[in-house]
Structure 1
Amino acid sequence: MKTFVHRRKDVTEEELMDYSAFCQLLPGASSTQTLTLIGYKRGGVVLAMITLIIWTLPACCLMALFSFFPVQMTGIFRFIGPMTIGFLAFAAQKAFKVSIHNTITRVILVVSTIATFLLFKWPWIFPILLVLGGFVTNLSSRRIPQVEVLPKKIKWGNIWLFAIIFILAGASSELARSNNWPNRRPLNLFENTYRFGSLVFGGGNVLMPMMYEQWVARPQSQRLIHRNPNIIRVDKTDFYSGWGAVRAIPGPVFSIAAYMGGVAMKDKGTAWQILGCFIGTTGIFLPSALLVLFFFPIWHNLKKYATVYRALEGINSVVVGIMIAAALYMMKDFQSASWKDIALNFGVIGITWALLLYSKLPSPVIVAVWMGLGWLFLLF
């Protein structure tokens, strides 16, 4: 608002609020999509893509660099795991106040929380719940009635590129897995990150459970390992270290994909690790750009449909349920610890939540404090 409205006057205040509202309806990185639209308004598709690259490059480069840190140095992240759960609990509480406000949203919340917790290792649980949530809240028109009928037919041809990439990425990844192609991991990594970027409603706080399910929880299943011995794995320590780091740097939270891509490929050498960082970055941000640039020309027609807002009501309820279930599921990592460590972990969760709720400390400061305490914990 300060830079693009008041100082540079690239957009009006009304346009910026309209962009923000539109991006909340789409999956992907909302802040990235909003900035991409500002570039699109001033210079078309070319400037939009330049804006996207400039906005994401610093954070992605930092996170890619961080993926090269040796594992021995991650001891300072002793408290980052429970701290991350504290962030997630706080985000779920804030989202609850906004999204859960009537009986149907409460029912969707409970069902999605239980289903996500019980079926966390099943990757289709997230898209199925999102679709069902949007469908259920459309069964009634009493809360959000249709006040205007759209006079013009919407042209959906512009989203074909997004859909074709989605289908090709999934098909090639499955073909590579079923035929046991050597060096197939880049295809699997692109499919994973492109799917995340296409399905994540609610920003980084929902991206985290999806990544945890895909790369930490699922590879623990012996049945899946037997079917796919080369499944992408990310160690829990590396996962929590990455999420702590992305909270401590400026830029979009979705830049975590650059780190995860590098970690997923680090056992193959430096060149492959750099490729993993690039694939993670491209895969996570590409669907956001395609969706926002292709849907925006029809936004002023689409937003007249009450169906969109009814669906979003259910989708947001599911998102809160996913965040709650993810926090509970990630607490299972504590079960092998001693009672002293369990109490310490829950203390970190509670303190992090309280600092976010009652203090004005920015997130990077909270992360830095826990990293410092982790370093002292190692010394003493």
Structure 2
Amino acid sequence: MEQNNTKGGFKSLLEILLVSTRLGFTSFGGPVAHLGYFHTEYIRRRKWMDEKSYADLVALCQFLPGPASSQVGIGIGVMRAGVLGGIVSFLGFTLPSVIALILFALILQGLNIGDAGWIHGLKVVAVAVVAHAIIGMAEKLTPDLKRKALALFALVVTLLWQTAFTQVGVILVSAFIGYLLYKQHKEENQAEVHFPISRRFAVLCLGLFFGLLFLLPFLREATSLSWVAMFDSFYRSGSLVFGGGHVVLPLLEREFVPTGWLSEEAFLAGYGAAQAVPGPLFTFAAYLGAVMNGWQGGLLATVAIFLPAFLLVYGTLPFWNSLRRNPKIKGALMGVNAAVVGILISAFYQPIFTTSILAPIDFAFAAVLFSMLVYWKLPPWIVVLTGAIGGWLLTLL
């Protein structure tokens, strides 16, 4: 695959760009829906991969932290045209929503949204959506008592000591405990799948992923550069999220709202806009960066939050067959996954719940929105619209 001649390679890249850009303009509905769109376009229609390889790739991306659907898109690009194919596939799928959200942020800066009732409605929506995302993650990632205890440990520690170092420390401790508890844990073996990336390049990517994760908080403390602090916050948020983009919401809110980088109102207006555009919800970072530092900030935030996804996909593809058969590594990751649930519950309580549910009627409204999302299974954009209108109506009472 990587040995294509230049013309053939360019043709493959152009094809990937055109197809992924079309998906970037039309893929509404969150990560599960995105995987469905990918399957229809890449597997059924174009037959770029067989069903088994696609299932394996989806399994790998669910296994890694980061935006799962974006990582699957990167992986398909890699399978089709090597490392560059992954980058081109990502750009096509992501840029439409990045550009839309940066433009929205620049337009919004001229408006006063501080006292708008619809913003309070969006705060209540955030409570319902994030609660749903966390419940789903907890069922999947903390099924037994030991992992529930790990999640509780992470919840208590990160709630009481809210620093950049706390999260990384909790992840390390949980990885070690998970290794001790689950190193004998075995799962059924699956067929092998081969990816066109060298192991040397993969090791470099993994080294860079962990190096940045641990070095950026120290650089942030050692320098007073705002862009380093911003890059660290987005990179860490992108490194600690498993599953859908909604799960990144509490992490980003804790990083930027209490520290005064942007207001709660601006944060939630952008969240509402992110629901209205196609593509991955992680592009919400582009909006946040643009509110804080113009279009340059939007691009920096996008690079920072998606960089872990790239480094992990490129770093693990060649080792995927060995990784999933190694019970010690699986054990450490099971511990990390459990801790992430606790970190998210902690960030959900403070600041999302405490700044949104201010009266009994807010909690009642959140329960209605939660039911719309979970039991009636309405699309998130309808829930967001209901929240915005409901928030405005509540101010009239």
Normalised by the size of structure 1, how large is the TM-score? 0.82
* Contact 1:123/1:213, CA 8 A, preserved across alignment: no
Q: CA deviation at 1:261?
A: 0.5
Which of 64, 72, 77 is equivalent to 2:119?
Answer: 77
Q: Equivalent residues in 2 for 1:23-62 (5 A)?
A: 23-62=61-100
**Which amino acid in structure 1 is aligned with residue 128 of structure 2?**
G
Q: What is the DSSP-based 3-state SS (H/G/I as helix, E as strand, rest coil) of the residue aligned with 2:143?
A: coil
Instruction: Provide the residue aligned with 1:239 in structure 2.
Output: 267
- Which deviates further from its counterpart, 41-50 or 343-352? 343-352
Question: What is the aligned-residue RMSD (CA, Å)?
Answer: 2.6
Q: CA deviation at 1:165?
A: 5.3
Correspondence 1:135 to 2:156: no
Which of 361, 375, 379 is equivalent to 1:358?
Answer: 375
* Contact 1:206/1:322, CA 8 A, preserved across alignment: no
Q: Equivalent residues in 2 for 1:140-219 (5 A)?
A: 140-141=181-182, 144-145=185-186, 156-163=203-210, 172-177=219-224, 184-217=225-258, 219=259
In structure 2, what is the Cα distance between the partners aligned to 1:174 and 1:188?
8
* Contact 2:165/2:217, CA 8 A, preserved across alignment: no
In structure 1, what is the Cα distance between the partners aligned to 2:77 and 2:356?
45
Instruction: Provide the residue aligned with 2:57 in structure 1.
Output: 19
* Contact 2:184/2:327, CA 8 A, preserved across alignment: no
Report Cα offsets for 1:177-209 as digits up to 9, x if no partner: 1xxxxxx32333223222322333344344222
**Which amino acid in structure 1 is aligned with residue 112 of structure 2?**
Q
- Which deviates further from its counterpart, 291-300 or 273-282? 291-300
* Contact 1:248/1:368, CA 8 A, preserved across alignment: no
Which of 271, 277, 288 is equivalent to 1:249?
Answer: 277
In structure 1, what is the Cα distance between the partners aligned to 2:315 and 2:186?
27
Q: What is the DSSP-based 3-state SS (H/G/I as helix, E as strand, rest coil) of the residue aligned with 1:78?
A: helix
Q: What is the DSSP-based 3-state SS (H/G/I as helix, E as strand, rest coil) of the residue aligned with 1:137?
A: helix
Q: CA deviation at 1:43?
A: 0.8
* Contact 1:29/1:252, CA 8 A, preserved across alignment: yes
In structure 2, what is the Cα distance between the partners aligned to 1:313 and 1:162?
19
Instruction: Provide the residue aligned with 2:194 in structure 1.
Output: none
In structure 1, what is the Cα distance between the partners aligned to 2:141 and 2:121?
30
**Residues 92, 187 of structure 1: alpha-carbon distance in 2 compared, 3 angstrom cutoff:** closer
**Which amino acid in structure 2 is aligned with residue 370 of structure 1?**
G
* Contact 1:60/1:258, CA 8 A, preserved across alignment: yes
Report Cα offsets for 1:57-100 as digits up to 9, x if no partner: 11111221221214424623221112101111111221222222
Q: Equivalent residues in 2 for 1:260-279 (5 A)?
A: 260-265=288-293, 273-279=294-300
**Residues 198, 138 of structure 1: alpha-carbon distance in 2 compared, 3 angstrom cutoff:** same
* Contact 1:202/1:316, CA 8 A, preserved across alignment: no
**Residues 375, 251 of structure 1: alpha-carbon distance in 2 compared, 3 angstrom cutoff:** same
**Which amino acid in structure 2 is aligned with residue 287 of structure 1?**
P
In structure 2, what is the Cα distance between the partners aligned to 1:168 and 1:319?
20
Gaps of 5+ in 1: 149-153, 178-183, 220-231, 266-272
Instruction: Provide the residue aligned with 1:91 in structure 2.
Output: 133
Q: CA deviation at 1:322?
A: 2.3
* Contact 1:81/1:241, CA 8 A, preserved across alignment: no
* Contact 2:68/2:242, CA 8 A, preserved across alignment: no
In structure 1, what is the Cα distance between the partners aligned to 2:332 and 2:213?
22
- Which deviates further from its counterpart, 275-284 or 238-247? 238-247
Q: CA deviation at 1:243?
A: 2.1
Aligned residues: 343
Which of 300, 317, 320 is equivalent to 1:299?
Answer: 320
In structure 1, what is the Cα distance between the partners aligned to 2:183 and 2:168?
26
Q: What is the DSSP-based 3-state SS (H/G/I as helix, E as strand, rest coil) of the residue aligned with 1:54?
A: helix
* Contact 2:179/2:331, CA 8 A, preserved across alignment: yes
In structure 1, what is the Cα distance between the partners aligned to 2:268 and 2:300?
21
Gaps of 5+ in 2: 1-38, 190-198
* Contact 1:202/1:319, CA 8 A, preserved across alignment: no
Q: CA deviation at 1:22?
A: 1.1
**Which amino acid in structure 2 is aligned with residue 373 of structure 1?**
G
**Which amino acid in structure 2 is aligned with residue 312 of structure 1?**
L
Instruction: Provide the residue aligned with 1:345 in structure 2.
Output: 362
* Contact 2:124/2:365, CA 8 A, preserved across alignment: yes
Instruction: Provide the residue aligned with 1:371 in structure 2.
Output: 388
Q: CA deviation at 1:251?
A: 1.2
Instruction: Provide the residue aligned with 1:108 in structure 2.
Output: 150
**Which amino acid in structure 1 is aligned with residue 102 of structure 2?**
A
In structure 1, what is the Cα distance between the partners aligned to 2:214 and 2:336?
23
In structure 1, what is the Cα distance between the partners aligned to 2:167 and 2:132?
21
Q: What is the DSSP-based 3-state SS (H/G/I as helix, E as strand, rest coil) of the residue aligned with 1:108?
A: helix
Instruction: Provide the residue aligned with 1:269 in structure 2.
Output: none
* Contact 1:261/1:277, CA 8 A, preserved across alignment: yes
Q: CA deviation at 1:279?
A: 0.7
Q: CA deviation at 1:313?
A: 2.0
In structure 1, what is the Cα distance between the partners aligned to 2:331 and 2:215?
31
**Which amino acid in structure 2 is aligned with residue 83 of structure 1?**
V
Report Cα offsets for 1:121-147 as digits up to 9, x if no partner: 322222222222222122134761489
**Residues 215, 141 of structure 1: alpha-carbon distance in 2 compared, 3 angstrom cutoff:** closer
Correspondence 1:122 to 2:163: yes
**Residues 161, 124 of structure 1: alpha-carbon distance in 2 compared, 3 angstrom cutoff:** closer
